[in-house]
Amino acid sequence: MQLFLWECRRVAKSVVYWLYAAALVLFLWGQDALPVNEGLSAFVPPQPGDELNTLVPSGDEARIMPEAAAALRAAWQEDRFVTYPPPLCIYRSVRPSDAQHAALGEVLDALCAPDGTLRPGVTWEAFTAGMEKADRILGGGSDWAPAGLEQKYGLVPATYADLVAEYEACMAHDRYTGAFARLFCDYAVIALALFGALPAVALFRQDVGAGRGGAAAIWVRRVPGAALVGARCAALLALEFLPVLVMDIGLTAYYAGLYGWRSIAPGAFFGYSALWLLPTLALEIAGGAALTLATGTAAGAALWPALGWLCAASGAGGLSNGSTYANLLTPRHNAVGGYLVFRRGLARLLAGRAAALALAGVLLAAAVWALRCRRRGVAVWRSGI
Amino acid sequence: MQTGICIEHLTLRYGRKAALCDVSLTVPPGLYGLLGRNGAGKTTLMRTVATLLPCREGRVTVNGVPTAQAARVRAMVGYLPQDFAAYPSLTVREALGYLGTLSGLERPLLRRRVPAVLRLLHLEEQADKRVGALSGGMLRRLGMAQAILHDPPVLIVDEPTAGLDPEERVRLRALLARLAAGGRVVLFSTHIAPDIEAVCGGLAVLDAGRVRYAGTVADLKARTGAGDLERAYLACVQGGKD
């Protein structure tokens, strides 16, 4: 605990930390997310006729199968596919090899007649097995991954009842703040993916910046490497999350003023922030620490924001089929409301967040190992610290 | 328990170049000097004893504990690196508090030890200054303060007097002598012979990674017939080359 508090003090005295906090707030301010004042129509009861402009998943296998097969055939004939392969779900343009092209053709032949229509008697199980095989050939994250089929294909115009159901679910579960909190997290997670690693890189680089002698004066001490890295990363996590918590408090108070304390869910911003943002922050911090200790350079200050930018930039492409919920760095939900969509993607979101935490754990272990090597004068990547 | 530093047949290479070559040395309790020119291998030897470099050929023990057991050795060692630096944004008091915590000092003990070492090193007036604002001499004093903060039984100080003015050099030498008087092992490296002659009973002369002489200052002077350690050192090193 004593070491954790000292590390907190060091983080709080770091210029890079305050730049991070300022960048986070400015980014959200620039996105009009402090507070969000758009999309308030989500809280207005739907009127008859509103449904004409809205498509919703039908879940109808008879609609999904021919649409998905036709889309696969079109991409196959063009010989070009767009995928968002996990875990990062970054945009990828895939041009299959001849063997892969032939294998995809076999999948199509098994499911479709020569004229492109679905073969009679193809069951949903056989169809999804074929789609899974096609997705695997493409490296995963394609529009034909079975988990996303229902969100992507077989869309039908919404009924008035669908809109009422969404509205009622939103009012019952989100209670205003839940709906705004998801959009807040959608923006905040991008900012954290862009800037979250920087204070960690700066703090671990300070050992190097203090010169070989500075690092030696620290590393010759009896503190175990795991305790040093653990306390430092925990301090970074706590203090980097602090501005988010402050914004959560401010936004909760703002919406309480707008709708009344009794109407809102007071814990929504805090709950969504913890679930949505903390794993990304943990991954950024552990990644920044591991890369800095392994290379002895500030490469993490370039690599992690670049990864975050790639994830955020390409993540929007998966919004339509909900696959972006599984994004390791930047799960997206770029809308006010959409509670039922969120519920359908929740399992993916939880799996992605758990994967991010697990990877953060692995990177933390790598950071401890790199520190151990450097303390014994064994070069990990480049000697120097 | 065996006290002191014991180095047996230590060879350490940077790539193909041997920085230390079959070094054997016993450093007893007290103030022991390590004399050699720049690049002689003094810092490499000290970093190896301080567990900051791996001991792959030969054996090094600190108070009977091999350096392979790094955690146990680190608990016994205080180390002042040649190019000591600390976090510039912390104050002197904070830097000592942080480094003391890394040495495992609990808060009540830290509250006693930090003012004590500040007093000992005449750093009280600088206690609330930022480390980044310290002069070279003050930084050196802070380096000594952090090395003795946890009251280690073994102190390894690498070129502590380099860059200090004469008054500070005398004061630092006196402090080292005082620290060694209590039975502590103090290994003190320098390329300034008079510093060793002033305070050390025993010394080793290191040249090109090899020990040219290990014994007492008086014996080295007698053997070489030199009137002072500086000439005795030159005779020793030049004799080694012949």
Q: What is the pLDDT of residues A221-264, one digit of tens each?
A: 999 999 999 999 999 999 999 999 999 999 999 999 988 999 99
> For residue range A272-328, what is the model confidence (pLDDT) as tens digits?
999 999 999 999 999 999 999 988 888 888 888 888 877 776 665 555 455 578 788
Cα angle at A102 between A99 and A104, to 5 degrees?
Answer: 110
Please, what is the average pLDDT of chain A? 87
Q: Please tell me the predicted confidence (pLDDT) of residue B103.
A: 93
- Per-residue model confidence (pLDDT) at position A380: 54
Residue A289 is assigned to a structural domain of this protein: yes
CB-nearest partner of B90 from A13, A212, A213: A13
Query: Are A230 and A248 contained in the same domain?
Result: yes
> Which of B10, B87, B96, B156 is the best substitution to test chain A (most A C-beta atoms within 10 A)?
B87
Pairing between strand A81-83 and B77-80?
unpaired
Note the pLDDT of residue A208: 64
- Looking at the structure, tell me whether residues A141 and A231 fall in a common domain: no
Chain B neighbors of A15, CB-CB under 8 A: 89
- pLDDT of the residue at A315: 60
CB contacts of B79 in chain A (<8 Å) are 216-217, 220
Is A362 a residue whose pLDDT tops 90? yes
Residue A330 counted as domain residue: yes
What is the chain B residue with the closest CA to A379?
B53
Same structural domain, A115 and A198: no
Residues in CB range of A177: below 8 A, 6 or more apart: A251, A252, A255, A264, A265, A266, A268, A269
Alpha-carbon gap: A375 to the closest alpha carbon of chain B (Å): 6
Tell me the per-residue pLDDT of A264-275, one tens digit each, with 9 for 90 and over.
999 999 999 999
- When divided into structural domains, chain A yields a total of 2
Task: Quote the pTM value.
Answer: 0.82
Asked if residue A307 lies in contact with residue A381, where contact means CB atoms within 8 angstroms, the answer is no
A336 and A275 in a common domain: yes
Kindly state whether residues A114 and A187 are assigned to the same domain: no
Domain boundaries, chain B: 5-84+153-239
Q: Which of A124, A157, A190 is the last residue of a domain?
A: A157
- The answer to whether residue A363 is domain-embedded is yes
At B67 the pLDDT is 92
Percent over 90 (pLDDT), chain A: 48
Q: Which residues of chain B have pLDDT under 70?
A: 1-2, 240-242
Neighboring chain A residues of B90 at a CB cutoff of 8 Å: 10, 13
Phi/psi of residue B34, nearest 5 degrees: -125, 110
Please choose, from the candidates A135, A123, A35, the residue with its C-alpha nearest in 3D space to the C-alpha of residue A84: A135
| Interchain proximity A222–B51, CB inside 8 Å | no
CB-CB under 8 Å, A10 with B99: no
Residue A213 has pLDDT above 70, yes or no: no
A57 versus A227: the higher-pLDDT residue is A227
- Given CB atoms, is A22 within the 8 Å cutoff of chain B? no
- pLDDT tens sequence across A132-147: 999 999 988 888 988 7
User: A182 and A39: one domain?
Assistant: yes
Cβ distance A220 to B86 less than 8 Å, yes or no, reads: no
Please report the pLDDT score of residue A377 as a whole number: 79
| Min Cα–Cα distance to chain A from B102, Å | 5
As a whole-number percent, the residues of chain B with pLDDT over 90 amount to 55
Query: B61 pairs with which residues across the strands?
Result: B6, B66
Contact B52 A217 (CB under 8 A): no
Closest partner CB to B70 (pick from A6, A15, A376): A376
Residue A303 falls within a domain, yes or no?
A: yes
Decide if A206 touches B, using CB distance below 8 A: yes
pLDDT over 70 (residue A202): yes
A383 pLDDT more than 60: no
The mean pLDDT value for A27-53 works out to: 80
Query: Residue range A91-110: average pLDDT?
Result: 90
Q: In angstroms, what separates the C-alpha of A228 from chain B's closest C-alpha?
A: 8
Judgement on whether residues A350 and A212 belong to the same structural domain of the protein: yes
Report which of residues A11 and A344 the model is more confident about. Answer: A11
Chain B interface includes A227 (CB < 8 A):
no
Between A and B, how many residue pairs show a Cβ–Cβ distance under 8 A? 92
In a domain, A340, yes or no: yes
- Segment among A202-206, A337-341, B78-82, B238-242 with least mean pLDDT: B238-242
Q: Is the pLDDT of residue A212 over 70?
A: no
Please tell me which of the candidates B81, B97, B143 has its beta carbon nearest to residue A6. B97
**Of the candidates B1, B37, B41, B2, which has an alpha carbon nearest to the alpha carbon of residue B22?**
B41
Find chain A residues with C-beta within 8 A of B104's C-beta.
221-223
The verdict on A30 touching B (C-beta cutoff 8 Å) is no
Q: Given this model, what pLDDT does residue A47 score? A: 86
Which residues of chain A lie closer than 8 angstroms to B82, CB-CB?
Answer: 213
Question: Would you put residue A35 in left (φ > 0), alpha (ψ -120 to 50) or beta?
Answer: beta
Predicted confidence at residue B242, as pLDDT, reads 41
pLDDT computed for residue B226 by the predictor: 83
Contact at CB, B90 and A10, closer than 8 angstroms: yes
pLDDT surpassing 80 at residue A6 = yes
Does residue A236 lie in a domain region? yes
- Hey, of B69, B101, B151, which one would you mutate to test binding to chain A, going by the most A CBs within 10 A of its CB? B101
Residue that terminates a domain, selected from A157, A174, A197? A157
Q: Is A124's Cβ below 8 Å from some Cβ in B?
A: no
Question: What is the ipTM, given to two decimal places?
Answer: 0.86
Check whether residue A364 and residue A338 sit in a common domain. Answer: yes
Residue where a domain terminates, one of A157, A177, A194: A157
pLDDT for the residue A379: 63
- Does the structure show a pLDDT above 60 at A201? yes
Residue A50 lies in a domain: no
Q: Based on the fold, state whether residues A246 and A125 are members of the same structural domain.
A: no
Q: Measured between beta carbons, which residues in chain B are less than 8 angstroms from residue A377?
A: 47, 52-54
Given an 8 Å threshold on Cβ–Cβ distance, is A213 in contact with B71? Answer: no
Å from B75 to nearest chain A CA?
A: 5
Higher pLDDT, A339 or B61: B61
Name the residue range of residue A294's domain.
Answer: 2-45+166-384
Residue at A301 is within a domain: yes
A236 and A138 in a common domain: no
Domain B5-84+153-239: which CATH number of 3.20.20.70, 3.40.50.300, 3.30.300.30, 3.40.50.1820: 3.40.50.300
